[in-house]
Amino acid sequence: MTTTPAFPFSSKLVDLGDGEALSVTDVGSGPTVVFAHGTPTWSYEWRHLLRALEPRFRCIAVDHLGFGRSARPSHADYSPEAHARRFSKVLEVLGVGSHHLVVHDFGGPIALDGALAHPERVASVTLFNTFAWPFTGDPASRRRARLAGTSLFRWAYGALNLSFVISRSAWGDRKTVTDETWPPYLSVFPDAASRRLVLWALAKSLLGSTAFFESLWARRERLASTPMHVVWGMKDSAFPPSALVKLREAWPHASVHELAAAGHWPHEEQPEVCARSLLQFLDGLTSP
């Protein structure tokens, strides 16, 4: 079991074989809530929500391969579809049945793949600034996706730590950044090799994994009767309000909580508000 002062929750490694071991934080008791982080983060991004939910819910937060406390084998596939297979496998190994799913950023497509495959296992879905569609729908998105997969971006991800430059630029109100915000993320990727292996793999997937993203969008109606909640930072430059419009198109039954001053990281920027919003949504589903 592992803990750190910044993330005071115990974690354990779930061995999936071939050097692929994922770190899992499993705390609390009650109805199960499963968290899927994005990039370039790890389960640390859920710390505020874990603290808020732990007294009443069993909270499971998984670090994707190469992120956080998970292993980082050099031979592994770090595409979102590979992460999705591993995410589903971990839940299977842990024996997770019906659960509430909470996702952010790339955690959306990674975790939604399994949810769309087995919607009967998902009691609800909460979405924080994420996506579930290909980036080929309009010329601007296609150009950005194509650029992310170039050798120039590969170099910049390694040499300039571009993933974190982009992440910081997508913050809403810089006044909400604290001394504890970025160091636990930055320390996980201390060199160019790790950033290119894990982080750039997701950047190039914006175009390279188009078929995977198309499969998510094609299956979206499988969650048409699943309770859904959206918490959206409206100042997100990475996933602007037009992405929220797309989510509303996909799941018009979802309740939506817009945060005007937050950016890409609403649960980091306004943790108390996000915790209340999530708890209110879950209480409406789990209260007798």
> What tens digit of pLDDT does each residue of 67-106 get?
999 999 999 999 999 999 999 999 999 999 999 999 999 9
Instruction: Determine the Cα angle at 174 with ends 280 and 10, to 5°.
Output: 55
| Residue 5 or 105, more confident | 105
Confidence tier at 196 by pLDDT (50, 70, 90): very high
171 found inside a domain: yes
d(CA 84, CA 64): 9
Confidence tier at 138 by pLDDT (50, 70, 90): confident
Provide CB contacts within 8 A for 21, sequence distance 6+. 13, 14, 15, 70, 71
Count the Cβ atoms, other than its own, within 10 Å of residue 285. Answer: 12
7 found inside a domain: no
The dihedrals phi and psi of 153, each to the nearest 5 degrees, come to -70, -35
**Per-residue CA distances from 220 to 78, 79, 99, 207 (Å):** 24, 21, 18, 20
d(CA 121, CA 97): 6
Whether 5 shows a pLDDT value over 90: the answer reads no
d(CA 278, CA 274): 6
pLDDT in tens, 168-181: 999 999 999 998 99
Q: Is 8 exposed, middle or buried (0-12, 13-18, 19+ CB in 10 A)?
A: exposed
253 found inside a domain: yes
Whether 163 shows a pLDDT value over 90: the answer reads yes
Whether 2 shows a pLDDT value over 60: the answer reads no
* Mean pLDDT to the nearest integer, 233-248: 95
Whether 182 shows a pLDDT value over 70: the answer reads yes
Q: Is the dihedral of CA 267, 271, 277, 278 positive or negative?
A: positive
pLDDT in tens, 24-76: 999 999 999 999 999 999 999 999 999 999 999 999 999 999 999 999 999 99
117 found inside a domain: yes
State the amino acid at position 257 in one-letter form: H
2 found inside a domain: no
Q: Is the dihedral of CA 100, 274, 28, 57 positive or negative?
A: negative
Whether 190 shows a pLDDT value over 60: the answer reads yes
Give the DSSP H or E segment for 125.
strand 122-130
**Per-residue CA distances from 29 to 62, 64, 212 (Å):** 17, 23, 34
d(CA 39, CA 43): 10
User: What is residue 195's DSSP assignment?
Assistant: I
165 found inside a domain: yes
**Total domains, the chain:** 1
* CATH value at residue 263: 3.40.50.1820
d(CA 153, CA 224): 37
CB 191 within 8 A of CB 17: no
232 found inside a domain: yes
Percent of the chain whose predicted confidence (pLDDT) is above 70: 98
Instruction: Determine the Cα angle at 180 with ends 176 and 184, to 5°.
Output: 125
**Per-residue CA distances from 177 to 10, 38, 66, 149, 172 (Å):** 25, 18, 25, 30, 10
Confidence tier at 113 by pLDDT (50, 70, 90): very high
CB 99 within 8 A of CB 87: no
36 found inside a domain: yes
Range of the domain at 197: 12-286
pLDDT at 286: 77
d(CA 7, CA 55): 17
